[in-house]
């Protein structure tokens, strides 16, 4: 009896997680896939069938939105990395005893609702707002210049919102790097720049990798930034899915598009980890 209980213990302990996963992930996922294959309309209801037409239609008619999503996702992630790395580096190496204060300050804006933050950017970037307005008034920018509804406003919004999510994983790996390794590299004729390239950068690769996934996946599927900061020309696939669902109540299309996006992201992640290797991550985790 006791042995049996001992054997069952791990399963029993993980039971809450299993229940959670099944109820909130497996079942919704299955129902989404089912809905993607359904036929019908909002009034008379839907029946699940083997109709793959939505996948084909969804993919062919919204190619642009998919392409845009991946472009915005990639661009915003790369820019976020470029901005977040120096910040994480500085906190980890020069933060001293105020490290947690700096991290807290970076997290601070996140106590404000996501939508409010994006709306604030809409206000900041508006054509006659307090940034562009004065610049136009003194003639530094032409009157017809605008940022809102351009892809740069959307990418900028994505960068702003993912900044902290990239700083944190980078900080964690950079903080762990033994400073004596830099000293050893200097001792072996590596200038500070070379020591960074040969020691710090490779050792922080797991953080770069993890942060990239985290930010990229979130940003590709985002629709709020595009909806508030962009225009019709910057529609991302998230916006299309939202419209299909709420505006057109075309549930099968929304579900099909979501499934396609999920599949594409999975393929992208797979290719990405093949290219950059998960080996390094496992090594450092050990």
Partner 1 sequence: MNAAPSNRHDVRLENVTKQFGGWTAVDDISLTVKGGEFFSLLGPSGCGKSTTLSMIGGFESPSVGAIYLGGEDVSRQPSYKRDVNTVFQSYALFPHLDIFENVAFGLRRKGLPKAEIETRVRDMLALVDLTSFIKRKPGQLSGGQAQRVALARALVNKPKLLLLDEPLGALDLKLRKQMQIELKRIQSEIGITFLFVTHDQEEAMAMSDRLAVMSKGRIEQVGTPAEVYDHPCTEFVASFLGASNLIPGQVVDRGGETMVVKLEDGAVVKLPAIALAASNSADVKIGVRPEKFLVLAAGESEEPGWNVIEAVAGVSVYLGVSRQYMMESKTGRPLSVYAQNSGRAGELAPGETVRLAWNPAHTFAVAASQIQPAEGE
Q: 27, 187, 263, 267: which one contacts partner 1 (CB under 8 A)?
A: 187
Q: Is 199 an interacting residue with respect to partner 1 (CB under 8 A)?
A: yes
List of residues 6+ apart from 109 with CB closer than 8 A:
117, 164
Q: 61, 178, 248, 267: which one contacts partner 1 (CB under 8 A)?
A: 178
Q: Is 183 an interacting residue with respect to partner 1 (CB under 8 A)?
A: yes
Q: Is 282 an interacting residue with respect to partner 1 (CB under 8 A)?
A: no
Helix axes 114-125, 151-176, angle to 10 degrees: 130
Q: Rank residues 35 and 199 by Cβ distance to partner 1 and give the closer one.
A: 199
Q: Is 202 an interacting residue with respect to partner 1 (CB under 8 A)?
A: yes
Which of these, 80, 232, 48, lies nearest to 161 by C-alpha position? 80
* Phi, psi values for residue 49, rounded to 5°: -140, -160
Of 51-59, 99-107, 140-148, 189-197, the window that binds partner 1 (rule: CB under 8 A) is 189-197
Q: Is 92 an interacting residue with respect to partner 1 (CB under 8 A)?
A: no
Q: Is 181 an interacting residue with respect to partner 1 (CB under 8 A)?
A: yes
Please state, in angstroms and rounded to a whole number, the distance separating the CA atoms of residues 56 and 260. Answer: 10
Please state, in angstroms and rounded to a whole number, the distance separating the CA atoms of residues 71 and 69. Answer: 5
Query: Which residue bears the tokens 């977040």?
Result: 84
Residues making contact with partner 1 (CB under 8 A) = 178, 180-181, 183-192, 194-195, 198-199, 202-203, 280, 283-284, 286
């Amino acid at each position: 009896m006791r042995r049996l209980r001992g054997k069952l213990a791990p399963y029993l302990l993980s039971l809450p997680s299993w229940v959670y996963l099944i109820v909130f992930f497996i079942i919704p996922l299955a129902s989404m896939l089912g809905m993607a294959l359904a036929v019908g309309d909002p009034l008379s209801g839907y029946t699940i069938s083997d109709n793959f037409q939505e996948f084909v239609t969804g993919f062919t008619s919204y190619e642009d939105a998919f392409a845009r999503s991946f472009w915005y996702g990639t661009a915003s992630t790369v820019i976020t990395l470029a901005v977040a790395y120096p910040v994480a580096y500085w906190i980890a190496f020069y933060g001293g005893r105020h490290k947690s204060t700096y991290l807290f300050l970076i997290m601070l804006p996140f106590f404000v609702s996501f939508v409010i933050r994006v709306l604030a950017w809409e206000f900041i970037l508006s054509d006659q707002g307090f940034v562009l307005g004065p610049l136009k008034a003194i003639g530094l920018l032409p009157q017809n210049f605008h940022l809102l509804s351009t892809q740069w406003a959307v990418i900028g919004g994505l960068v702003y919102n993912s900044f902290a999510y990239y700083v944190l994983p980078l900080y964690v790996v950079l903080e762990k790097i033994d400073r004596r390794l830099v000293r050893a590299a200097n001792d072996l004729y590596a200038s500070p720049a070379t020591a960074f390239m040969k020691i710090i950068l490779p050792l922080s690769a797991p953080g770069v990798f993890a942060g990239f996934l985290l930010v990229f996946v979130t940003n590709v599927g985002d629709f709020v930034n595009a909806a508030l900061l962009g225009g019709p020309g910057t529609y991302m696939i998230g916006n299309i899915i939202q419209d299909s669902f709420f505006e057109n109540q075309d549930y099968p299309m929304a579900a099909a598009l979501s499934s396609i996006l999920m599949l594409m992201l999975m393929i992208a992640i797979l290719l990405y980890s093949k290219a950059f290797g998960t080996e390094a991550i496992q090594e450092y985790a050990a």
